[in-house]
Structure 1
């Protein structure tokens, strides 16, 4: 027996769909509070020392947190090549915009304190704000467009064609709502992190903004669910599903129908746990913030992120990228993966290295546990930003 036959092809495909979700949720939770903290920077800090406190709350950990983004991109490239080809080419301008914004983060952290001029530092503060807001907004907009369907298709030779035109067509009303959910959600998460890592006026202001962001997250998420039910058609496979055959997106039939994104929840009621967490999590986080429980609020906001992201994946399953111009070309878990051998080798590597990443991350957070010391920053002690 060949080694990779130890795990069936359809099982490997399902495992990699779960792993992709884990990596995307890991990025949203781990790097999410970095982005949320950057969004809050101009508003929770009123002087240079307070801004330095906010920056040092995420400065030592943001690089490690961004590893989850790299892992997610690598997983898409290796496990789902057609998904990588369509998304990274069709969303090229959006990806470039995210990359440009993310570049502002390390540059801002490193160069902000090189000069003491208030104009210089204020400029970099707003640069860090843009570096947090733009990725949060654009990623949410991308998810909204995925739910509506992306304008791509395959020809008979399996060549990919993207029929979209400009970046602005992605800014449709439903996608913008999804983008606002993402911004509110990560702002809530960043506020909870600042409550855990700071004290005094910064913590107090973060609490106020965090409660507002949490309530807004719950309201917008509920509104998006209603809109998805009433105004956004979903996708469903109507032909026989071959779960262990060669990857060929054109070997199926797909219908577009109202309410199709909710069929999985009707068939499997246990899946309702995800949207329940997405709706209740922000409300619980708001209550905990009001009580001054930053650590528990961070946990609640993390659970809400898990619920919101997972609810999208569960609603779409088995689709991972539907096509709005040729539904038959839509990519699913069963027809857009790499080969059996590739998925097995990738899984073996993941089993080895993912626990190491988690263990190292845990160790780093243990070493850096505690609130940021404003006095140490003011006195120039340590290696603060």
Structure 2
């Protein structure tokens, strides 16, 4: 037996669908609190020293956290080539806006404290706010559009055509999903600040974070309620072992298809349940000073909210609103059997190493950041 046939093609496709979700959740859990801290900084820090303390809570780890975004892009490129082609071409301007905002972060971190000038530092403070708020918003907007369906199609030669516009992405439901993303990550950033700081900064973070957590619950519930008419369904025979050609199936938009998934697979209710429970727990624990537990609850909420999207849409990955037959699913979008197997072997070897090293870094950097650590003569930001 050939080695890669030890795991069948359909199982490998499922594994990589799950791994893609794990990578996206990993990005939200790590770089997510960076984005949340950047978004909150103008509000939780009232003077220059407080802003430096806030920046230095994420300064040593933000670069490592952002690697998860690069990993997500690489995984999509290698494991799901059609998904990469459609999303990175159709969402080109949105991706450019995200990259521009993310580029502002390292520049802001490095240059903010180079000059002792109020206007100079204030400008970079707002750059860091943009670098946190804009990606958090646009990532959520992208998810909102995915749930509704994206205007693309394939021709018979599998050339992809995107027929939407950047401003078409900014529809009301997508913006609502963007606000869910912002409040979710602001909550996560607040729990991080509550854990890493004390005094006035920590107290403001607790107050803002509790409000953000409650807003997350309300907006997430509203997004779920408005999801009721949306959805897509495969109308032909499902071929889990079939070739990666989206046009070999037939599909259609169907009212309520996403929510009907919960009748077919009741166990997926665990996704939204964790989203609500985690956010509520974070709100309560932020007010009662349960710092570590609040961070864990915020992480649980992120896990639940992101997994809700994937579980509701399965087996769809990216539905097409103008030609449902071109929709991308788990069964017709992946790389070859051999490619997925080799990638899985590499992942099994190296992902535990990365996780172990990341855990060690956080262990070494454990503890609160205060004014005593911000010495003008050292390497702090």
Asked if these proteins are the same fold (TM beyond 0.5), I'd say yes
Q: What is the CA-CA distance between 1:167 and the residue it aligns to? A: 1.1
Q: Aligned to 1:233, what secondary structure does the other structure show?
A: coil
User: What is the distance in 1 between the residues matched to 2:255 and 2:350?
Assistant: 42
Superposition map of 1:204-215 within 5 A: 204-215=203-214
User: What is the distance in 1 between the residues matched to 2:190 and 2:230?
Assistant: 35
User: What is the distance in 1 between the residues matched to 2:195 and 2:13?
Assistant: 39
Q: Aligned to 2:254, what secondary structure does the other structure show?
A: strand
Q: What is the CA-CA distance between 1:3 and the residue it aligns to? A: 1.4
Give the aligned partner of residue 154 of structure 2. Answer: 154
Q: Aligned to 1:336, what secondary structure does the other structure show?
A: coil
* Corresponding position: 1:22 with 2:22: yes
* Corresponding position: 1:126 with 2:126: yes
Q: What is the CA-CA distance between 1:281 and the residue it aligns to? A: 1.2
User: What is the distance in 1 between the residues matched to 2:377 and 2:199?
Assistant: 20
Q: What is the CA-CA distance between 1:381 and the residue it aligns to? A: 5.6
User: What is the distance in 1 between the residues matched to 2:117 and 2:325?
Assistant: 58
Q: Aligned to 1:31, what secondary structure does the other structure show?
A: helix
> Could you report, residue by residue, the CA deviation over 1:143-180 in whole angstroms, capped at 9, with x for unpaired residues?
0000000000011111111111x311101000000000
> Could you report, residue by residue, the CA deviation over 1:261-296 in whole angstroms, capped at 9, with x for unpaired residues?
022211121110110011121111100001011211
User: What is the distance in 1 between the residues matched to 2:140 and 2:115?
Assistant: 35
Q: Aligned to 1:371, what secondary structure does the other structure show?
A: coil
Aligned residues, how many?
Answer: 381
Give the aligned partner of residue 136 of structure 1. Answer: 136
* Corresponding position: 1:275 with 2:272: yes
Superposition map of 1:1-385 within 5 A: 1-164=1-164, 166-229=165-228, 232-377=229-374, 379-380=375-376, 382-385=378-381
User: What is the distance in 2 between the residues matched to 1:157 and 1:268?
Assistant: 35
User: What is the distance in 2 between the residues matched to 1:264 and 1:383?
Assistant: 52
Q: Aligned to 2:317, what secondary structure does the other structure show?
A: strand
User: What is the distance in 2 between the residues matched to 1:127 and 1:248?
Assistant: 43
In structure 1, runs of 5+ residues without a counterpart are none
CA RMSD of aligned residues (A): 0.8
User: What is the distance in 2 between the residues matched to 1:382 and 1:8?
Assistant: 55
> Could you report, residue by residue, the CA deviation over 1:4-62 in whole angstroms, capped at 9, with x for unpaired residues?
11110000000000000000000011110000000000000000000000000000000
User: What is the distance in 1 between the residues matched to 2:272 and 2:230?
Assistant: 19
> Could you report, residue by residue, the CA deviation over 1:52-97 in whole angstroms, capped at 9, with x for unpaired residues?
0000000000001111111111100000000000000000000000
User: With structure 2 as the length reference, what TM-score do the two structures score?
Assistant: 0.99
User: With structure 1 as the length reference, what TM-score do the two structures score?
Assistant: 0.98
User: What is the distance in 1 between the residues matched to 2:352 and 2:135?
Assistant: 27
